[in-house]
Structure 1
Amino acid sequence: MIVRKLWALRGPNIWAPHPVLEAWVDLEGLKDDPSSGVPEYYARILGWLSFWDSGENSRSERESLRERLCHGTGLADVFAGLTGVLQAMADPAIGAYWTRPTAEAGVYRTAISYADEGWGRACLDASLKIVQAAVTQGSLDPAAEADRLRDLARRLRPTVAVEAILEAARARGIPTARLDKDRNEGLILLGHGARQRFYLGARTSRTGAIAEKISNDKELTKLILRACGVPVPSGRLVANLEEAWATALELGFPVVIKPGDAENGRGVALQLVTRKQVAIAFAEARNWSDKVLVEHAIPGSEYRLLVVGDCVVAAIRRDPPQVVGDGRSTIAELVARLNDDPRRGDDWKTPLFPILLDANSTTVLGEQGYVTEAVPPAGAVILIRRNTHRRDGGTATDVTDLVHPEVAARVREAVRIVGLDVAGVDVVIPDIGRPFEEQGGAIIEINAEPSLSMHLVPSSGMVRPVGKAIVDLMFPGEERGHVPIVAVTGTNGKTTTTRLIAHILRQAGRTIGMTCSDGIYLDQRRIQAGDCSGPQSARTILMNPRVEGAVLETARGGILTGGLGFDRCDVAVVTNLGQGDHLGSHDVATLDEMARVKSTVVSVVAPDGAVVLNAMDHRVVAMGTSSPARLIYFARDGDCKVLDRHGRAGGRSVCIRGGVILLAEGDRHERLIARSDVPLTLGGLITFQEENVLAAVAAAWALGLPSETIRAGLATFESKTELVPGRFNIFQAHGATLIVDYAHNASALRSLAEALDRFSEDKRLIVYSAAGNRRDEDIIDQGMALGNGFDQVLLYEDGCNYKRPDGSVLALLRQGLSVGGRVQNVFETRGELVAIERALDNLGPGLLVVFVPESIEESLKFIRSALAASTEERSRKHNTF
């Protein structure tokens, strides 16, 4: 059993609206043997299942797989189910999977949901290893494999704080992306384009650099707060031990020594009263910073208050690790008993960390007159460490509901003074439920990167929705971080429609990002060349902070191998399905299956968005039946039955009647523009371009653009190489008409030939080749379309055979040409540019030449250069001076 192919579908896809890993599994010699028919394999898997237990969800997944094994299921299904069991060790929400046979016997497509790609891939690899070991009776240590995976999960999975931000954003429908998965430092991008925001370690895009700089300098923070009347402890920076001791004597004991700019409680020593303690604490603080701060210790308990915006959203009391004597047990035994608490673990997703017995604890115990083997009397409270930090075994008890309003006001005021939008404020005060004025107390520190985990997994008390509070601060009100997105899919016309929609939207003065088969564009500037109609290109443009709207060509290949590059769109456009293209590729064999692939785009339209569909294509029309969004149909035929039925129901449509493009809603009609005023269609000569125009108009109308703006866009969009390269670009040379058009399938060729019937030239030549990754019957059909539409056909063979033998593609084209009713001559050559040059050398009056290029940009460059050289040569020959 092997995995032949593996894709990460990182966006909505044909399987699910969430990410999945799609693996094509070849069972090899086992083929379709059910698990019940392979008893040794079945028994080994059952025996290993208990090792992969990490809580209730993991047990549920495990028992589900056990039941399927007992009743007999295919090995591909076991592989997918086991991957889910392994993922559930760290991802309680994961478990869904699907298995489908391919056209090849013994090969299955499996799709497995994941929340984190790295963890999902690791579990998939482990599942394959386990199943192979079970089937072949190979060696496997299930306990070691489980430990390896758990360790991997700790390194790969996001922190509890990052998960809280992601969950809060997703609950609001805000797009999310983890940008540093390998480093796992918590950098998240929320939203798209001009509305996006960054989050990193409780800092947001609004967090000011100066404010963070101030808060990181503890002495500077106190200086500013003291000047504003905020209670802070007395103290100062010291340069050496002698100065530290002198300062301690001056301030009065006990004192606190800490680094002047370290974070997360590192190097902090509390309640110091002797010179030895001061010396040890000074040395430890110096390990963390060149700046060492000595402060008078404020009496009271330690509290951490989290301020988000202008609200105190959470508060916890911090207590140092301690044990209570029972009169029988040693301190070491009491500590061991506490460490047996299952809530104690070695990562931030557990509410408690283990309590360590080390040199620090030995010192603290000695100060109280104890050693680890001592038996304290019953009821005696023994400190193990003075530090209250969770990683040292301290506890965090939620006290949010106990905070006095005056204390909260003082804390908010301190954060405003420093200038932070999110801050953790450390307060020492006897009673958090009483004002400072009644009892003393002070604000000790303000932290620009506060830990959220203590509020999300407190030792005791309520979990506070701090992730939601931060996301609500970043995206107030109904803001969801979205820019308007139009996604365009279909068989033919995708690129032209995409470019025209983007052109219309630019008339509204917005910065538009566009991806298509020619590249990625920011407004009209190309920032990346090549076929960019896939999900990664969509993500690239949506990450650009200048983008105020995006138009995304969304091709079949990208959907199948990567999913969508966006989680939702405002408008989906399906141009057509027709006879389809790429059938037979990626196990998509029929038009209905292809329609299902294309409908993925329709499935992610927002409920308040719109779906634009071709009313003349029944498979496209059917895509709208399950969408909750508004439907807008388009058709060249204004009397189309679908339009009539939709109109009687009050729906919107765009059509042509009496030579005018109409916007229809119910029984109301608006004359938008005469078809003769739309240069892209050459006054209505190019009928397939009319469909692209109608689709673009419908998309712009769906976005609420005024009619004047749509008209302006249509009137200024011509079929020029600068706007739509390779899409019916027309040149005139030596009395001949030259057209460059990327008609790369049979339906496109027939539409092209139909449009050429309206031209005056009576002789037609086409320069053409077919891609070898199409089915034989599709290539033959292209040959038939060529034979019925052109007098002369110049075939060329280039680098697009896709592993077919040389000459085989042209042989299939000739097979189709042989039944063509118009073709008179068929020529062959090798090389695209050689074929173009040969056609250009034979130009003459009355000839119409169509070039269908493989490389649009290279071919256009060559044609322009050749025509310019030819014109210059003719000019030189006719120069009589």
Structure 2
Amino acid sequence: MEVSRIRALRGPNLWSHHTAMEAIVSCSEAERSIAELPGFEDRLRALFPELSILQPTGHNDAVPMAHVFELTALGLQAQAGCPVTFSRTTQTLEDGIYQVVVEYSEEQVGRLALELAEKLIKAALLNEEFDLTAALEQLRELDEDVRLGPSTGAIVNAAVARNIPYRRLTEGSLVVFGWGSRQRRIQAAEIDVTSAISEAIAQDKELTKKLLHAAGVPVPLGRSVSNVEDAWAAAQEVGLPVVVKPQDGNQGKGVTVNITTREQLEAAYQAATEFRDDIMVERFLPGNDFRLLVIGNKLIAAARRDPPQVVGDGKSTVRALVEQVNKDPRRGSGHSTSLTKIKFDDIALATLAKQGYNAESVPPKGQRVVLRNNANLSTGGAATDVTDDVHPEVAARAVEAAQMVGLDICGVDLVCDSVLKPIEDQNGGIVEVNAAPGLRMHLSPSFGKGRAVGEAIIDAMFDENDDGRIPIIAVTG
């Protein structure tokens, strides 16, 4: 069997509406019917037990090797977790030459599946070993590397549901919807009308706070600092406890909260400088950490974020408890899963020390042990949906914050006791405004129901009856 002329069909095509890999497969006379190869199918199924039933593709009840190649490539992707179902083998006018079409969800994964299918068939022909587990893991890892993240994926799925065409412009999160003059673009959870100035303002936390404060939105007091001495002076000005964080950071990187001593501040300053040179000190606001998602001029979703923590069982060490929590299949090492694994690093050890624990301590049964003070999902935190609980004035403040910065899609970080009552009534405040906010805490929260944020973004980009398409009529003959 020889495979040649592999090409990707990146949209609706002659064979189906699915994206697919098309290959020309040449089969020798014996390979035009695997019945002529004694023991081949048994050896193949021993190597790949999940292979689908082989069906004749012609009028002579023969099962050609090309059909085996088709189902093997499709089956490998399916077993690796790719959402594929369509494949087809068609004999050409030339004897022994077949067109094989196999659906793919990610082009690179589809190409690798064809390559691995060819190797698997060769191993069965020669009665050699084939490491199926390693092959499937290779496909899974590549799929995780190249597939769209949960935020971008949710927006793309919402577009597909509305029959809006899309294509990726890069291997990253830059996606175009629609065609020609009717097209729109996104990059992660940021749309094409968001200005670079607005994004720059959102990244500058001190400037953001000045703008929000001028608009009457509650924010914590604080300022940028130049060194540890200046940081301690700023802490004295606003009053302990304080928060130390990079001035233009994101995802909770380098953020330390609830600092009450000079020693803690020095350690926090050092942690922050590992990510940025410009550091801020601001008043620590006690209460819960909430993320409010504003799209256009509406609050679409809200979640309470809880810091990464474990619960003692009276027998296991803190380290063992963290390992148990990280076995949750929802937790991954990046942003491709709904939750991120809890990091057991210097910040976690320092947080433990404040509670009188270390990595090998055995907490009492039922005792909650916090591994970090900030509640970002990217550092292992969890999220609980509270959209239905948000007070109208809290929602209005979030929309005002987003509009003051100029963001069409905005993640507003609010610290207060509860979203059931106005921020001013509980001495809370908006601590950050984020461009291109992560959506996964709203799509699949740890607790509560997910929200249709992808649909909300598409609705903000396209009018109700707009599918981004341009009708084309082709006349031939």
Alpha carbons of 1:35 and 1:220: their partners in 2 closer, same or farther (altered >3 Å)?
farther
Cα displacement (A) at 1:300 = 0.6
SS of the aligned residue for 1:22 comes to: strand
Matching of residue 269 in structure 1 with residue 256 in structure 2: yes
Aligned-partner residue type, residue 11 of structure 2: G
Distance 1:46 1:158 in 2: 33
Once the two structures are superposed, the pairs formed by residues 494-533 of structure 1 within 5 Å of their partners are none
Matched residues in 2 for 1:236 and 1:43: separation? 72
Residue of structure 1 equivalent to 2:31: 31
Shift of 1:86: 2.2
CA deviation profile, 1:593-637 (whole Å, cap 9, x unmatched): xxxxxxxxxxxxxxxxxxxxxxxxxxxxxxxxxxxxxxxxxxxxx
- The structure-2 alpha-carbon separation of the partners of 1:168 and 1:343, relative to structure 1 and needing over 3 Å to count, comes to same
Equivalent position of 1:422 in the other structure:
409
1:194 aligns to 2:184 (yes or no): no
Distance in structure 2 (CA, Å) of the matches to 1:460 and 1:349? 18
Report the secondary structure of 1:215's partner residue.
helix
Cα deviation code 1:98-123 (max 9, x no counterpart) = 11112233221111122322221121
Instruction: Provide the C-alpha distance between the structure 1 equivalents of 2:86 and 2:35, rounded to a whole number of angstroms.
Output: 20
Q: 1:331 to 1:296 in 2, by over 3 A?
A: same
- What is the CA-CA distance between 1:313 and the residue it aligns to? 1.0
Assess, with a 3 A threshold, how the Cα gap between structure 1 residues 11 and 352 changes in structure 2: closer, same or farther: closer
Matched, 1:125 2:111: no
Partner of 1:42: 41
Aligned partners of 2:257, 2:29: CA distance in 1, in Å?
68
Identify which of structures 1 and 2 has the higher relative contact order when contacts are C-alpha pairs closer than 8 Å and 6+ apart. Answer: 2
Aligned partner (choices 31, 35, 53) of residue 67 of structure 1: 53
**C-alpha displacement of 1:73:** 4.2
Pairing 1:214–2:192 present? no
- The alignment-based identity, stated in percent, is 42
Q: 1:293 aligns with which of 280, 283, 293?
A: 280
Distance 1:401 1:137 in 2: 61
Residue type at the aligned position of 1:67: I
Partner SS for 1:458: coil
Q: 1:38 to 1:361 in 2, by over 3 A?
A: farther
What does 1:185-334 correspond to in 2, within 5 Å? 186-334=173-321
Question: How far apart in 2 are the matches of 1:310 and 1:467?
Answer: 16
The answer (yes or no) to whether the contact 1:46–1:66 under 8 Å persists in 2 is: no
| Aligned equivalent of 1:622 | none
**Quick one: which amino acid aligns to residue 68 of structure 2?**
V
Which consecutive residues of structure 1, in runs of 5 or more, have no partner in the other structure? 51-61, 491-575, 577-881
CA contact (8 A) 1:87 1:95 kept: no
Q: 2: distance between equivalents of 1:381 and 1:473?
A: 41
Aligned mate of 2:93, from 103, 106, 120: 103
Partner Cα distance (1:284, 1:297) in 2? 17
Partners in 1 of 2:223 and 2:175 — Cα distance?
37
Deviation at 1:69, TM superposition (A): 8.4
Distance in 2 (CA, whole Å) between partners of 1:38 and 1:451 is: 55
Q: How does 1:729-744 map to 2 (within 5 A)?
A: none
Residue number in structure 1 paired with 2:167: 177
- Aligned CA distance change for structure 1 residues 140 and 113 (closer, same or farther; 3 Å): same
**Partner of 2:445 in structure 1?**
458
Q: Provide the secondary structure at the position in 2 that maps to 1:477.
A: coil
Q: Which residue of 1 aligns with 2:454?
A: 467
Hey, what's the Cα distance between the residues in 2 that align with 1:73 and 1:347? Answer: 43
**Partner of 1:795 in structure 2?**
none
1:351–1:9 CA distance, 2 compared to 1 (3 A): closer
Larger Rg, first or second structure (1 or 2): 1
Q: Is the 8 A contact 2:220 2:285 kept in 1?
A: yes
* Structure 1 contact 456–463 (Cα < 8 Å) conserved: yes
TM-score calculated relative to the size of structure 2 = 0.94
Distance 1:304 1:3 in 2: 51
Contact 1:327 1:378 in 2 (8 A): yes
Distance 2:10 2:433 in 1: 39
Aligned 1:380-459 pairs, distance under 5 A: 380-459=367-446
SS at the partner of 2:291? strand
Q: Which residue of 1 aligns with 2:20?
A: 20
Going from structure 1 to structure 2, the CA distance change for 1:38 and 1:280 (only over 3 Å counts) comes to: farther
* 2:252/2:379 contact within 8 Å kept: no
Structure 2 CA distance, aligned partners of 1:90 and 1:432? 42
Deviations 1:750-792 (A, max 9, x none): xxxxxxxxxxxxxxxxxxxxxxxxxxxxxxxxxxxxxxxxxxx
Q: 2-side partners of 1:239 and 1:35: how far apart?
A: 78
Contact map agreement 1:257 1:293 (CA 8 A) in 2:
yes
Paired residue type of 2:402: V
* Alignment pair present for 1:11 and 2:7: no
In 1, distance between residues paired with 2:74 and 2:259? 53
Relative distance call for 1:249 and 1:30 in structure 2 (3 A) is: farther
Distance 1:443 1:358 in 2: 28
**SS of 1:415 mapped into structure 2:** helix
CA deviations over 1:76-95 (Å, ceiling 9, x no partner): 22211121122224564312
Match of 2:327 among 323, 332, 340: 340
Equivalent pair of 2:308/2:381 in contact (CA under 8 Å): yes
Amino acid at match of 1:47: A
Q: Distance in 1 between matches of 2:94 and 2:154?
A: 44
Amino acid across the alignment from 1:344? R
Q: What is the aligned counterpart of 1:113 among 83, 103, 117? A: 103
Contact kept in structure 1, 2:80 and 2:137, CA below 8 Å: no
Alpha-carbon spacing, 1:139–1:90, altered in 2? closer, same or farther (3 Å): closer
> 5 Å matches for 1:353-392?
353-392=340-379
Cα separation, 2, equivalents of 1:48 and 1:463: 40
Amino acid at match of 2:46: G
What is the match of residue 126 of structure 2?
A: 136
SS at match of 1:288: coil
Counterpart of 2:420, as a letter, is G
Give the superposition deviation at 1:233. Answer: 0.5
Contact preservation (8 Å) 1:233, 1:297 = yes
CA distance in 1, matches of 2:174, 2:405: 24
Q: 1: CA distance between counterparts of 2:55 and 2:232? A: 71
Supply the distance in 1 between the matched residues of 2:354 and 2:144 (Cα, whole angstroms).
Answer: 37
- Counterpart of 1:49, as a letter, is F
Q: In the alignment, which of 141, 147, 150 is matched to residue 151 of structure 1?
A: 141
Q: Secondary structure at the match of 1:315?
A: strand
2: CA distance between counterparts of 1:365 and 1:205? 43
Secondary structure of the corresponding residue to residue 289 of structure 2: strand
Instruction: Decide whether aligned partners of structure 1 residues 464 and 445 sit closer, same or farther in structure 2, where only a CA change above 3 A counts.
Output: same
The answer as to whether partners of 1:27 and 1:107 remain within 8 angstroms in 2 is yes
Q: Which residues of structure 2 form unaligned runs of 5+? A: none
The 8 Å contact of residues 219 and 236 in structure 1, kept in 2 or not, is answered as yes
Q: Residue 36 of structure 1 contacts residue 69 of structure 1 at CA under 8 Å; is this kept in 2?
A: no
Measured after TM superposition, the shift of residue 130 of structure 1 is: 1.3
CA apart distance, 1:29: 5.6
Aligned-partner Cα distance in 2 for 1:312–1:91? 34
The aligned counterpart of 1:876 is none
CA distance in 2, matches of 1:269, 1:411: 24
Q: Which residue identity is paired with 1:445?
A: E
Corresponding residue SS for 2:89: strand
Find the residue that maps to 1:397 and give its secondary structure.
Answer: strand
The offset of 1:281, in angstroms, is 1.4
- Measured at CA, do residues 116 and 327 of structure 1 come closer, stay the same or move farther in structure 2, by a change above 3 Å? closer
Is the 8 Å Cα contact of residues 179 and 187 (structure 1) preserved in structure 2?
Answer: yes
Q: Return the alpha-carbon distance in structure 2 between the equivalents of residues 91 and 470 of structure 1.
A: 27
Equivalent position amino acid for 1:321 in 2: P
Secondary structure, aligned partner of 2:216 = coil
Aligned counterpart for 1:162 among listed residues 135, 139, 152: 152
| Aligned-residue offset at 1:145 | 1.9
Matches within 5 A, 1:855-870: none
How far is 1:36 from its partner? Answer: 9.2
Q: Find the aligned partners of 1:264 and 1:4 in 2 and give their Cα distance.
A: 45
Q: Aligned partners of 2:25, 2:412: CA distance in 1, in Å?
A: 54
Q: What's the CA shift string for 1:24-64, capped at 9, x where partnerless? A: 1112364223369542x3234323336xxxxxxxxxxx3xx
Amino acid at match of 2:372: R
Q: Secondary structure at the match of 1:337?
A: helix
Supply the AA of the counterpart residue of 2:128: G
